[in-house]
């Protein structure tokens, strides 16, 4: 079938769009203009826009079928996609048509567009990276599918009660999801538990995976890729018919509900592993469904298994999908009857692994007992992979027991556990870190022994962000000015062109307009005085990210207002945004302390017009897109050597915020590119932090030596900012795991320099323009190009 011809083209004039909207309202939504609610109008608008992308999708799929290309499959337990409507309007060229048509039919476009709900299927940076890479893969016309889980409940909604974080469920599909295409016919069967008999694995529980997909359009091209999300359904066979007939209907249904729990909720932990069995079930559910789907797709145009790694590369986004390695072995050996050596060779040519952390507590491990009970055949396969790995280690490094112990897939003490990162390194052909410094630290610390064994396996791919969402959509005013300054919109597909803005930093009238866009964005955020510096720290709460250092700065500023107003500096609004994992007590204490400090500052007339602390609840992509354009100062103040990359730092620099930061993650590369003169560097670097941490670090000595630090900590300890503040102080004066006190003075002094530069607005604006001009490297298009060159080796296919 030639899909290029058979379809009626959808109209691109206002009248045609309005007609399509009306017809969808009648025939698909089943209502009329007179009785339609705003929700009806929203769902209908979404369908009307989606239809335009679906036509492109059909052409893309036809081109892919014809070409039989090499595919990039991205496996990720998380996708933080962000709101879909505005993006799809832009990508389908209907940004202006839609509000006009809504108005013509009597709806308020603002009211309708506000109903778009963000699918929060991720925690933070890792899930957002997955979404940015999919955007860039489509924009670069690469045949790609993202695989993930369609959680019923996404990342929790954060609320504050008495300043404390409370979590509310995020029932994001409560009203349905108009962007989604269910594909129930493509369901897959997934087994759990059971035993390994002479005929192979006999699962004790069967669950169905039902896919649906969202469209992932490319920008400025016809390509529309998909992200396919699996939802667990009770397999019909799992209804126990005997119990039905024995009158135990409700009990039998209970079993079905249990099966569906697998995709019920996203685990809200960021940076610590969550060793719960349901989480392991989710991981296996994702990889089992996805691999079978990948094989199904391979078979459309191929029959020879030796072609599998030629036509397929599967990227593992962190260790969450690592069970794909033993699962593909099982499918090839047990079901396809390939011999072990051939299967292992195919597997190791197919997978690649992205590591996202340096925190030891974030490296996933699973108890051998639990894994063996849930997936008995997979544990056998892991044991055999391990035996062969350790043979290779012994052959390469004779008599080196410590290497054998470090490289083993099994940790022996204090409990036998499977090390997922070791499995991921062993079963893949490439392993990448996500920023230069991170990749270096991976090969010199976390994976040093693997790097000695397989030096060519390790590489770096520095993260990036999509300029479409985080500049063009988030900041239309600045985008228009950039386009005018560069003379075209080409920068949206080639972000390196931003360097052309550098000469304009010396143009006083361009600077004035740049400044006015910033002020405009600040007014739109509605935080009062747009003349005050907007100083933002927006990211998940974690002690290594050091929101506690920022709050010490705020307390110091507040105390200067009381006792040394001459040293205060310049008017600032300090904005925090971010969630803490619900079980992460220390991070929740920091949140509560920030809210207490905000209240104290607000209640004191001395702060008026000078200092404000705001903490909007429920930081997510929707909120990020509002805050980032308005930010003047970007806080990237993690302990050096802990933040793998960061991507918030990139979004903010691209929007002209100046960074105050440590030499950590991608901060290093941002500073190199925007210029050391345009970056506020402070604090210990990674080697210095490591050596202080491994020596005899005494946080109290910093407390005793620094009057301002002592005053700030005393206020916390004395309960001026509540019991949570006392806990924060106690932790800092106790172990201070992340060297907050060691970096305090350097940070405060650098903040004073920030204030001094702010007083010279011409200079600040110049630096701001140079930050945008220097940040073109941080496009996720460049990230995808690097993956293509270093790992994926796939070529574009244009519909």
Ligand X SMILES: *Cc1c(COP(=O)(O)O)cnc(C)c1O
* Residue nearest ligand X by beta-carbon distance: 648
Taking CA atoms, 119 is separated from 66, 249, 542, 646, in Å, by: 33, 34, 23, 21
Whether 459 is a known active-site residue: answer no
Number of amino acids touching ligand X (CB under 6 A): 14
How far apart are CB 364 and ligand X at their closest, in Å? 19
- Please, which residue, 423 or 624, has the CB nearer to ligand X? 624
Which tokens hold the place of 135? 């955007």
Residue 681: φ, ψ to 5°: -90, 140
Residue with tokens 């354009």: 629
d(CA 234, CA 218): 35
Least distance in Å: CB of 667 to ligand X? 10
Q: How far is the CB of 620 from ligand X (least distance, A)?
A: 5
Map 161-197 to HEC letters.
Answer: ECCEEEEECCCCCCCCCCCEEECHHHCEEEEECCEEE
Site mask for ligand X (CB under 6 A), range 538-577, x = bound: -xx-------------------------------------
- Quick one: 125 or 309, whose CB is closer to ligand X? 125
Return the residue of 595, 647, 678, 775 that touches ligand X, per CB under 6 A: 647
Give the nearer residue to ligand X in terms of CB position, either 82 or 699. Answer: 82
Q: Kindly tell me which of 623 and 690 has the beta carbon lying closer to ligand X.
A: 623
Which entry of 292, 356, 468, 671 is annotated as an active-site residue? 356
Query: In angstroms, what is the minimal distance from the CB of 167 to ligand X?
Result: 16
Where in 586-645 is the site for ligand X (CB under 6 A)?
619-621, 624
Residue 741 binds to ligand X (criterion: CB under 6 A): no
Told to judge if 428 belongs to the known catalytic residues of this protein, a careful annotator would answer: no
Closest listed residue to residue 537, CA positions, set 624, 609, 605: 624
> Does the active-site annotation cover 750?
no
Count of C-beta atoms within a 10 Å radius of residue 289: 27
Residues 48-107 within binding reach of ligand X (CB under 6 A):
80
Residue number, 128 or 292, with CB nearest to ligand X: 128
Q: Which one from 378, 417, 419, 545 is the annotated catalytic residue?
A: 545
Contact assessment for residue 682 and residue 750, using Cβ atoms and an 8 Å cutoff: yes
Residue nearer to ligand X on the CB measure, 560 or 579: 579
| Residue 124 touches ligand X, criterion: CB under 6 A | yes
How far is the first Cα of the chain from the last one, in angstroms, to the nearest whole number? 15
Binding mask 515-544 for ligand X (x = CB under 6 A): ------------------------xx----
Minimum CB–partner distance for residue 448 and ligand X (Å) = 26
502, 373, 392: which is closest to 453 by C-alpha? 392
Which among 54-62, 222-230, 472-480, 646-654 is the span making contact with ligand X, rule CB under 6 A? 646-654
Of 427 and 464, the one with the shorter C-beta distance to ligand X is 464
Angle at the Cα of 385 from the Cα atoms of 382 and 390, rounded to 5 degrees: 120
Q: Which of 365, 446, 647, 765 is catalytic?
A: 647
Which region among 184-192, 372-380, 647-655, 673-681 touches ligand X (by CB under 6 A)? 647-655
Q: How far is the CB of 130 from ligand X (least distance, A)?
A: 12
Please, what is the minimum distance in Å from the beta carbon of residue 174 to ligand X?
A: 21
Q: Least Å distance between CB 648 and ligand X? A: 3
Residues 6 or more apart whose CB falls under 8 angstroms from that of 95 comprise: 86, 89
What region, left, alpha or beta, does residue 665 occupy, with left being phi > 0 and alpha being psi -120 to 50 degrees? left
Q: Residue 254: CB partners within 8 Å, gap ≥ 6?
A: none
Find the catalytic residue in 540, 542, 588, 673. Answer: 540
List 178, 646, 699, 799, residue binding ligand X (CB under 6 A): 646
Site track 649-668 with ligand X (rule: CB under 6 A), x = hit: --x-----------------
Q: 619 near 158, Cβ under 8 Å? A: yes
Nearest CB to ligand X, comparing residues 36 and 133: 133
Q: How many angstroms from the chain centroid is the CA of residue 28?
A: 34
Least distance from C-beta 476 to ligand X, angstroms? 18
For Cα atoms 701, 665, 670, give the angle at the middle one, nearest 5 degrees.
110
Radius of gyration for the alpha carbons in the chain, expressed in angstroms and rounded = 27
How do 633-636 and 533-538 pair as beta strands? parallel
Q: How far is the CB of 463 from ligand X (least distance, A)?
A: 8
- Choice between 167 and 222, CB closer to ligand X: 167
Cβ atoms of 744 and 549 closer than 8 Å: yes
128 binds ligand X (CB under 6 A): yes
Find the shortest distance in angstroms from Cβ 128 to ligand X: 4
Annotation marks residue 539 as catalytic: yes
- Interface with ligand X includes 125 (CB under 6 A)? yes
Contact between 213 and 181 (Cβ < 8 Å): yes
Owner of token pair 């997934």:
190
- Given the residues 378, 546, 651, 673, the one annotated as active site: 651
> Is residue 356 among the annotated active site residues?
yes
* CB-based burial label for 486 (10 Å; 0-12, 13-18, 19+): middle
467 is a contact residue toward ligand X (CB under 6 A)? no
- Range list of H helices, 68-168: 85-91, 97-104, 109-113, 125-139
- Which CB sits closer to ligand X, 52 or 673? 673
588 is catalytic: no
Q: Which is nearer to ligand X, 44 or 647 (CB)?
A: 647
Would you state the torsion angle of the CA atoms of residues 440, 442, 444, 445, taken in this order, to the nearest 10 degrees? Answer: 150
Candidate residues 148, 427, 648, 683; the one interacting with ligand X per rule CB under 6 A: 648
Strand partners, 265: 153
Residue 722: CB partners within 8 Å, gap ≥ 6?
A: 163, 592, 593, 596
Query: Is position 437 an interface residue for ligand X (rule: CB under 6 A)?
Result: no
Residue 504, judged by CB atoms within 10 A of its CB (0-12, 13-18, 19+), counts as buried
Binding site for ligand X (CB under 6 A): 80, 124-125, 128, 539-540, 619-621, 624, 646-648, 651
Supply the residues annotated as catalytic: 356, 539-540, 545, 647, 651
């Amino acid at each position: 079938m030639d899909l290029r011809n058979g379809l009626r083209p959808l109209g691109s004039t206002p009248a045609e769009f309005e007609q399509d909207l009306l017809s969808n309202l009648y025939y698909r939504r089943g209502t009329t203009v007179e009785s339609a609610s705003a929700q009806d109008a929203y769902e209908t608008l979404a369908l009307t826009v989606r239809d335009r992308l679906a036509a492109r999708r059909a052409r893309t799929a036809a081109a892919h079928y014809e070409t039989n290309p090499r595919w990039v499959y991205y496996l990720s337990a998380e996708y933080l996609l962000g709101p879909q409507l505005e993006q799809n309007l832009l990508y389908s060229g209907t940004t202006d048509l839609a509000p006009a048509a809504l108005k013509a039919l009597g709806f308020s476009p603002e009211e309708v567009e506000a109903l778009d709900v963000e699918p929060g299927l991720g925690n933070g940076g890792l899930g957002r990276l997955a979404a940015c890479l999919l955007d860039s893969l489509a924009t670069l016309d690469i045949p790609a599918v993202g695989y993930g889980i369609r959680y019923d409940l996404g990342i929790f909604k954060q609320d504050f009660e008495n300043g404390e974080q409370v979590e509310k469920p995020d029932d994001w599909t409560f009203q349905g999801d108009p962007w989604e295409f269910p594909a129930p016919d493509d369901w897959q069967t997934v087994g759990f538990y059971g035993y390994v008999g002479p005929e192979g694995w006999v699962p004790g529980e069967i669950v169905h995976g039902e896919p649906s997909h969202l469209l992932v359009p490319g920008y400025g091209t016809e390509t529309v890729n998909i992200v396919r999300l699996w939802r667990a359904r009770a397999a019909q066979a799992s209804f126990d018919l005997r119990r039905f007939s024995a009158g135990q209907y409700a009990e039998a249904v209970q079993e079905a509900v249990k099966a569906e729990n697998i995709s019920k909720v996203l685990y809200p932990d960021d940076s610590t592993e969550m060793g719960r069995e349901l989480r392991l079930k989710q991981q296996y559910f994702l990889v089992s469904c996805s691999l079978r789907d990948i094989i199904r797709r391979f078979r459309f145009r191929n029959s020879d298994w030796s072609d599998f790694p030629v036509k397929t590369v599967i990227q593992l986004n962190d260790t969450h999908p690592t069970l794909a390695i033993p699962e593909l072995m099982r499918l090839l050996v047990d079901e396809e009857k390939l011999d072990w050596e051939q299967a292992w060779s195919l597997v190791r040519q197919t997978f690649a692994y992205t590591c996202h952390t340096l925190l030891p507590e974030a490296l996933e491990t699973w108890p051998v007992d639990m894994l063996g009970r849930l997936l008995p055949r997979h544990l056998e396969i892991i044991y055999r992979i391990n035996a062969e790995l350790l043979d290779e280690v012994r052959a390469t490094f004779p008599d080196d027991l410590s290497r054998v112990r470090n490289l083993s897939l099994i940790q022996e003490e204090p409990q036998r556990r499977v090390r997922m990162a070791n499995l991921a390194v062993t079963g893949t052909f490439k392993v990448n870190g996500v920023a230069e410094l991170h990749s270096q630290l991976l090969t010199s610390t976390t994976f040093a022994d693997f790097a000695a064994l397989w030096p060519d396996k390790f590489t770096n791919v520095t993260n990036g962000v999509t300029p479409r969402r985080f500049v063009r959509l988030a900041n239309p005013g600045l985008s228009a000015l950039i386009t005018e300054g560069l003379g075209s919109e080409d920068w949206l597909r080639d972000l390196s062109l931003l360097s052309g803005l550098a000469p304009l930093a010396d143009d006083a009238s361009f600077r004035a307009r740049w400044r006015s866009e910033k002020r405009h964005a600040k007014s739109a955020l509605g935080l009062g005085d747009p003349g005050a510096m907007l100083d933002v720290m927006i990211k998940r709460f974690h002690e290594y990210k050091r929101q506690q250092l920022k709050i010490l700065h705020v307390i110091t500023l507040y105390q200067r207002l009381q006792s040394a107003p001459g040293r205060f500096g310049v008017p600032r609004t300090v904005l925090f945004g971010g969630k803490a994992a619900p079980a992460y007590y220390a991070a929740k204490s920091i949140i509560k302390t920030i809210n207490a400090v905000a209240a104290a500052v607000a209640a004191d007339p001395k702060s008026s017009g000078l200092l404000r602390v705001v903490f909007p609840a429920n930081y997510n992509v929707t909120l990020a897109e509002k805050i980032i354009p308005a930010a003047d100062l970007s806080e990237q103040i993690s302990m050096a050597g802990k933040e793998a990359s960061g991507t918030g730092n990139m979004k903010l620099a691209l929007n002209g915020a100046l960074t105050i930061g440590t030499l950590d993650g991608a901060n290093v590369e941002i500073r190199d590119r925007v210029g050391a003169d345009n970056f506020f560097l402070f604090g210990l670097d990674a080697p210095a932090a490591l050596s202080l941490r491994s020596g005899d670090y005494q946080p109290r000595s910093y407390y005793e030596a620094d009057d301002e630090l002592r005053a700030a900590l005393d206020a916390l300890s004395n309960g001026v900012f509540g019991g949570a503040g006392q806990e924060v102080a106690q932790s800092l004066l106790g172990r201070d795991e992340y060297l907050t006190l060691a970096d305090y003075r350097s940070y405060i002094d650098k903040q004073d320099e920030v204030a001094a530069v702010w007083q010279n607005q011409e200079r600040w604006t110049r630096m701001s323009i140079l930050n945008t001009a220097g940040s073109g490297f941080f496009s996720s298009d460049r990230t995808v190009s690097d993956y293509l060159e270093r790992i994926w080796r796939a070529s574009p296919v244009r519909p």
